[in-house]
């Protein structure tokens, strides 16, 4: 098939969610492949779905997926824009004392708020909203699909890509039944909230030791997390800084409780913590909207891709607990691999014409790489999720043993793509002009450096 005859349907791309679907569209657009992207939501409450995410090993692939001028915005949307893309050590601390347990090294990465990442990924992409996918039919000739939406509309295309998240509808068709596609709940009460203290002293106090973010692990086997999410009026106006906070503990989720009760549960736990987590949580205003995140997983497995007419990317292909910071990195990796395969199948450019594949071959190649990778990381992230919430086992958890590094072989495309130049890096920063706030972070990274050697050595 030629690129001028192809049309790809992408499912999933809402107002704060749907980053994988949007990145897929960016990659298809760059390749000159016609696409249409459909999203079930009309609009979403940004705050209820807001969290921050670290992009590290897959960043070089993101650079290849996005147009140059769009990727250039990544530094601006960083949680700590004074640093942007940089290398450093992520602090994991003991919640009761604030002491460092270890600094997890990352190379040329950054943390971004989900809403801003989504905004960047949506640049120049037109989304069809209010389109809930309900059915997929496969033409008996062996070519083409027809997607059906809840408003009764039918859309024919060459293939359909499910970027529709953990509870993917497309996965049900891939697996042949809702049961086989069903996620398993990860048994954790995970809360997310966004706060602006509106008070410069408070904001500076909670960021004094660990300037951008930390993960605090409690002897009582729960975690608390805080990250700057944005600096609306800039680094010199800490009263305007916005923070993403999270707290989570293993166990049954009580679905009957609302914001107020969840906040009380959080403060009860925070009352026994040391600084900075103690004040960061105890200062949460009483009207804070404490959102519950459903954490679930599905171990990627082979499905029927109908000769390359259907496939999955992102959380639709490998939903996992987030405590090793891998989900979005794998989403980016998926988009890069799949779009390169489609270029070869559709003869999008000279090089790909030389290695021409059929659509079935391109999708089989993509899934041959992605499914084992997804399955391995989902298993690892599940194990990590349990261990990080069991004080006796934290030192044995994958994030302590392996850091944020992908499993062996998973990041080879990103490694081949080469590093993305950051604005600064540990060890080489003394020459770089940076703001006071960035300077504190960089100093802190240097102090943490010895603690990272354990991870570097074992990773
Ligand atoms: C608290 C938390 C912290 C995290 N931190 C990190 C991190 O530090 N690093 C990292 O790499 N990853 C992290 N992750 C994981 C990361 O957020 C996800 O992997 C990523 O956002 C998944 O994006 P997605 O587009 O694949 O799925 P989603 O964001 O779920 O998007 C799916 C879209 O499909 C739409 N949709 C669903 N069904 C249909 C349908 N039938 N018809 C039409 N549209 C439909 C949905 O409305 C939605 O917009 C974290 C996750 C959590 C929960």
Whether the per-residue pLDDT at 457 is higher than 60: the answer is: no
Which among 48, 327, 382 is the best mutation to test ligand 1's pocket, defined by most ligand atoms within 8 Å of the CB? 327
Nearest atom in ligand 1 to the alpha carbon of residue 54 is 8
> Residue 455 pLDDT more than 60?
no
Residue 378: closest CA among 455, 305, 301: 301
Q: 38 and 9 in contact (C-beta within 8 Å)?
A: yes
- Residue 314 three-state SS: helix
In short, whether 120's Cβ falls inside 6 Å of ligand 1 is no
Look up the pTM and report it.
Answer: 0.92
Domain regions of the chain by residue span: 3-46+58-82+113-182+297-417
Q: Mind listing the pLDDT tens digit for each residue in 359-395?
A: 999 999 999 999 999 999 999 999 999 999 999 999 9
Give the pLDDT confidence of 173-196 residue by residue, as tens digits.
999 999 999 999 999 999 999 999
Higher pLDDT among residues 80 and 262, named by residue: 262
Percent of the chain with pLDDT over 90: 78
The crossing angle, in degrees rounded to 10, of helices 19-31 and 327-346 is 30
User: Residues of the chain with pLDDT > 70: what percent?
Assistant: 89
As a CATH number, domain 3-46+58-82+113-182+297-417 is 3.50.50.60
What distance in angstroms lies between residue 447's CA and the mean position of ligand 1's atoms?
Answer: 34
What separation in Å is there between the alpha carbon of 17 and the centre of ligand 1? 6
C-beta 398 within 6 A of ligand 1 = no
Say how far apart CA 419 and CA 417 lie, in whole Å: 7
Cα–Cα distance between 176 and 187 in angstroms, integer?
26
Residues ≥6 apart with Cβ < 8 Å to 128:
36, 37, 38, 39
Which of 165, 300, 314 maximizes ligand 1 atoms within 8 Å of its Cβ, making it the mutation to test the pocket? 165
Region of residue 154 (phi > 0: left; psi between -120 and 50: alpha; otherwise: beta)? beta
Q: Look at 33-42, 83-92, 197-206, 324-333 and tell me which has the smallest mean pLDDT.
A: 83-92
Which of 13, 16, 18, 381 for mutating ligand 1's site (highest number of atoms within 8 Å of CB)? 18
Q: Can you give the C-alpha Rg of the chain in angstroms?
A: 22
- The beta-strand segments (E) located in 300-459 are 310-312
pLDDT (tens digit per residue) in 237-294: 999 999 999 999 999 888 899 999 999 999 999 999 999 999 999 999 999 999 999 9
Atom of ligand 1 nearest to the CA of 12: 34
């Amino acid at each position: 098939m030629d690129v001028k005859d192809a049309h790809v349907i992408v499912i999933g791309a809402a107002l704060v969610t749907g980053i994988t679907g949007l990145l897929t569209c960016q990659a298809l657009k760059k390749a000159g492949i016609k696409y249409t992207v459909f999203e079930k939501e009309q609009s979403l409450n940004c705050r209820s779905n807001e969290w921050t995410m670290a992009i590290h090993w897959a960043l070089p692939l993101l650079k290849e997926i996005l147009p140059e001028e769009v990727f250039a915005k990544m530094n601006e949307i960083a949680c700590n824009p004074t640093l942007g893309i940089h290398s450093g050590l992520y602090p994991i601390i003991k919640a009761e004392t604030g002491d460092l347990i270890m600094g997890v090294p990352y190379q040329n990465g950054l943390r971004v708020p989900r809403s801003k990442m989504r905004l960047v990924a949506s640049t120049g992409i037109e989304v069809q909203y209010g389109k809930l996918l309900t059915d997929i039919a496969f033409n008996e000739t062996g070519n083409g699909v027809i997607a059906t939406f809840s408003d009764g509309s039918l859309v024919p295309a060459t293939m359909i890509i499910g970027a529709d998240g953990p509870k993917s509808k497309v996965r049900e068709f891939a697996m042949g039944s809702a049961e086989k596609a069903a996620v398993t709940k990860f048994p954790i009460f995970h809360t997310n909230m966004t706060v602006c203290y509106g008070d410069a002293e408070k904001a500076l106090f909670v960021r004094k030791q660990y300037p951008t973010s930390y993960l605090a692990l409690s002897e009582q086997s729960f975690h608390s997390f805080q990250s700057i999410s944005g600096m609306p009026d800039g680094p010199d106006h800490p009263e305007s800084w916005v923070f993403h906070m999270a707290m989570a503990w293993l166990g049954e989720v009580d679905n009957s409780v609302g914001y107020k009760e969840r906040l009380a549960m959080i403060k009860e736990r925070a009352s026994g913590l040391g600084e900075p987590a103690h004040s960061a949580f105890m200062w949460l205003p009483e009207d804070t909207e404490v959102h519950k995140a459903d954490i679930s997983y599905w171990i990627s497995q082979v499905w029927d891709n109908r000769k390359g007419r259907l496939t999955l990317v992102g959380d639709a292909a490998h939903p996992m607990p987030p405590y090793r910071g891998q989900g979005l990195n794998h989403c980016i990796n998926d988009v890069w691999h799949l779009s390169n395969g489609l270029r070869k199948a559709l003869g999008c450019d000279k090089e790909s014409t030389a290695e021409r594949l059929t659509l079935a071959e391109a999708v089989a190649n993509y899934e041959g790489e992605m499914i084992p990778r997804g399955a391995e990381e989902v298993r690892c992230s599940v194990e990590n999720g349990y261990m990080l919430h069991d004080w006796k086992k934290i030192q044995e958890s994958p994030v302590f043993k392996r850091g944020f590094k992908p499993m062996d072989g998973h990041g080879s495309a990103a490694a081949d793509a080469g590093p993305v130049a950051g604005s600064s890096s540990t060890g080489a920063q003394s020459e770089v002009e940076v703001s006071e706030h960035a300077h504190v972070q960089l100093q802190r990274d240097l102090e943490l450096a010895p603690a990272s050697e354990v991870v570097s050595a074992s990773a």
